[in-house]
A and B are shown apart, each in its own frame.
Chain A
Amino acid sequence: GDSVTQMEGPVTLSEEAFLTINCTYTATGYPSLFWYVQYPGEGLQLLLKATKADDKGSNKGFEATYRKETTSFHLEKGSVQVSDSAVYFCALASMDSNYQLIWGAGTKLIIKP
């Protein structure tokens, strides 16, 4: 079945550092890919999405490119801030999953001033 694998956390960076959180997936067909962010004590917020190969999703300085050849959707940001500290989830939805979101385990990001 479909699955999503994320790099384990926590990831600890200094403010203004470059961020990469790796995400790879296994799916038949052509899934849509999503990154969600969860701040402490809050629900999940959609950060960005991409619905077909080579699409780039972007929001709030974060970017991720749908790479079908490597089945990846890595999250990047050029200069992180303390306020980016949160848990980041990669997810996919496909016809095979009946459009249910299949989630990665989440990666906790800690940004130190």
Chain B
Amino acid sequence: DTGVSQDPRHKITKRGQNVTFRCDPISEHNRLYWYRQTLGQGPEFLTYFQNEAQLEKSRLLSDRFSAERPKGSFSTLEIQRTEQGDSAMYLCASSFSGGNNQPQHFGDGTRLSIL
């Protein structure tokens, strides 16, 4: 068990550029989640997948954000035309499905800084 892996750890980009992050979940887990966290706050849910199906997206999620999990394994989160307000830590988590007692296991996150 290598844990949840996220790449890159840090991303600095200019406003208006597109960025893409990758998450590799724990291999046995069929659920994968994306969260955003700003300094001093708890995580904010963005979206989640069960296998390759995207089952839920936050109503707060701008249409500039898109996520995929094409083969039910790794996932990518893309942000188009980045804005200053997108600066945050983007966290990925994975879990087994099957009820509310399955804990989510988190990666170390990708810190995005918009210049």
Query: What residues of chain A have their CB less than 8 Å away from a CB belonging to chain B?
Result: 31-32, 34, 36, 42-46, 49, 51, 89, 93-95, 97-101, 103-106
List, in ascending order, chain A residues with CB within 8 A of B56's CB: 98, 100
Look across to chain B and name the residue whose beta carbon is closest to the beta carbon of A105.
B42
Contact across chains for A104 and B103 when beta carbons are under 8 A apart: no
Look across to chain B and name the residue whose beta carbon is closest to the beta carbon of A99.
B100
Nearest CB on B from A85, distance (A): 16
Contact across chains for B106 and A45 when beta carbons are under 8 A apart: yes
Known interface pairs A32-B100, A98-B56; A106-B41 also in contact (CB < 8 Å): yes
Nearest CB on B from A79, distance (A): 26
Look across to chain B and name the residue whose beta carbon is closest to the beta carbon of A47.
B103
List, in ascending order, chain B residues with CB within 8 A of A95's CB: 100
Look across to chain B and name the residue whose beta carbon is closest to the beta carbon of A94.
B100
6 A-B pairs (CB sep. < 8 Å): A43-B106, A44-B91, A46-B104, A94-B100, A103-B43, A106-B40
Look across to chain B and name the residue whose beta carbon is closest to the beta carbon of A31.
B100
Q: Report the Cα distance A104→B45, complex, angstroms.
A: 13
Q: Report the Cα distance A105→B104, complex, angstroms.
A: 18
List, in ascending order, chain B residues with CB within 8 A of A93's CB: 100-101
Q: Interface extent on B, as a size class?
A: 20 to 34
Q: Report the Cα distance A34→B104, complex, angstroms.
A: 10
Known interface pairs A98-B56, A100-B48, A105-B42; A46-B105 also in contact (CB < 8 Å): yes
Q: Report the Cα distance A105→B43, complex, angstroms.
A: 9
Known interface pairs A51-B101, A94-B100, A100-B48; A44-B106 also in contact (CB < 8 Å): yes
Contact across chains for B42 and A104 when beta carbons are under 8 A apart: yes
Q: Report the Cα distance A67→B26, complex, angstroms.
A: 31
Q: Report the Cα distance A32→B102, complex, angstroms.
A: 9
Nearest CB on A from B54, distance (A): 13
Look across to chain A and name the residue whose beta carbon is closest to the beta carbon of B40.
A106
List, in ascending order, chain B residues with CB within 8 A of A98's CB: 56
